[in-house]
Amino acid sequence: MKSLTVSLPGRSYDILIERGLLDAAGVITRSVLLHATRIAVVTDSNVGPIYASRVATRMAAAGFQVKVITIPAGETSKSLDMLGELYQEFLSFGLTRTDAVVALGGGVVGDLAGFAAATVLRGVDFIQIPTTLLAQVDSSVGGKVAIDLQAGKNLAGAFWQPKLVIMDPDVLDTLPQAVFMDGMAEVVKYGCIKDGDFFAFLAQRPDRKLLMDEIEHILFTCCDIKRAVVEQDERDTGERMLLNFGHTLGHAYELAGGYERWSHGQAVAAGMCAAAHLGVKLGVTPPDLPERLEGLVSALGLPTAIPCTAEEYAAAVGLDKKGTGNDIRVILLDALGHAIPRRMDKQALLEALV
């Protein structure tokens, strides 16, 4: 088993990574929750039918009373309505402050169940069992939990660290190809911003089967990078912004496509390539870097560019709104494996992009 410990002031938690670990979920959970009686397992309508009864059985065998709560799959479940439903389900189950919530699913389930755990009864323990690649390398680590509001994504949320993250790479076998590759965009991002050797390692195996052969190493490397960043900057005021590489421009593409045409991973992939070209224009990024990045991105079946108008870019950086400030921070690469934040005038950024 590979494991790492996220150490934050006053508390720390383990991330455990091993094939087949789902079958040990009960025993491991008991080892960190000595006094809990009830476990509310939140899952979604795709993940639940495949994995929930397995997890519930193991939890029951470890002496917990278990209730499985299944939400509809998809981003629309990260809503105030669904949050309210979870509160009701928790309380009708008899959940108390010494009990716990388990998130069994992708980032949607993790964010929603995590926010519900952070706020019900002023906060109960929370365990993540992430089942998408994105959730394993990104959303289950770092303690950000949230729901979407009408005004935008992730606008109500909290920092609520899990007690434990249980990662079973085998669950990725049932992921649709597009969802797997979406997660790969974030994996590539880690190589770009922090580890050039890891980037080269990925570039040698840009194929799902080859990547799955090395999946424990991949998950460990990504989680270790995120761990280090989060330990330095739990509240997202400094170092953590490097994780936004590819995301400012990616956001423009998501917006341009009405959040339907392009998935988050596709938008981030194209955003990273655009940021690499921008960096070359600004004299920050080595000239051969965009081609190397585009080679890996396209080998993974992700887009290297997405059409976007000046107006769409302007909307994404807030230039269409008054009073949002003239500067924006973009993350650029000064080497493959090293990122730097750069403040730019928004107008100058737009001119460099279109």
d(CA 169, CA 136): 9
**Interface size with ligand NAD, residues (CB under 6 A):** 29
Candidate list 13, 44, 225, 275; residue touching ligand NAD; CB under 6 A = 44
> Do 134 and 186 meet the contact criterion of CB atoms below 8 Å apart?
yes
* Nearest-CB residue for ligand NAD: 107
Strands 38-44 and 11-17, by their bridges, are unpaired
134 binds ligand NAD (CB under 6 A): yes
CB of 106 to ligand NAD, least distance (A): 2
Helix, strand or coil, per DSSP, at residue 159:
strand
Alpha helices in the chain (DSSP H): 25-32, 47, 53-61, 80-93, 107-119, 133-134, 177-194, 196-203, 208-213, 215-232, 247-256, 264-281, 289-299, 310-316, 346-353
DSSP class of residue 354 equals: -
d(CA 60, CA 67): 10
Candidate list 73, 149, 203, 284; residue touching ligand NAD; CB under 6 A = 73
Tell me which residue has tokens 């002031």: 9
Site string for ligand NAD, 83-122 (x = CB under 6 A): ----------------------xxxxx-x-----------
161 binds ligand NAD (CB under 6 A): no
CA 133 to chain centre: 8
d(CA 268, CA 302): 9
79 binds ligand NAD (CB under 6 A): no
The stretch among 74-82, 85-93, 248-256, 271-279 that binds ligand NAD (CB under 6 A) is 74-82
Candidate list 144, 163, 208, 227; residue touching ligand NAD; CB under 6 A = 144
**Is 214 or 234 the residue whose CB approaches ligand NAD more closely?**
234
CB of 23 to ligand NAD, least distance (A): 15
**Is 38 or 144 the residue whose CB approaches ligand NAD more closely?**
144
- Binding residues for ligand NAD, rule: CB under 6 A, are 44, 46-47, 50, 73-75, 78, 105-109, 111, 131-132, 134-135, 138-139, 142, 144, 153-154, 171, 174-175, 179, 182
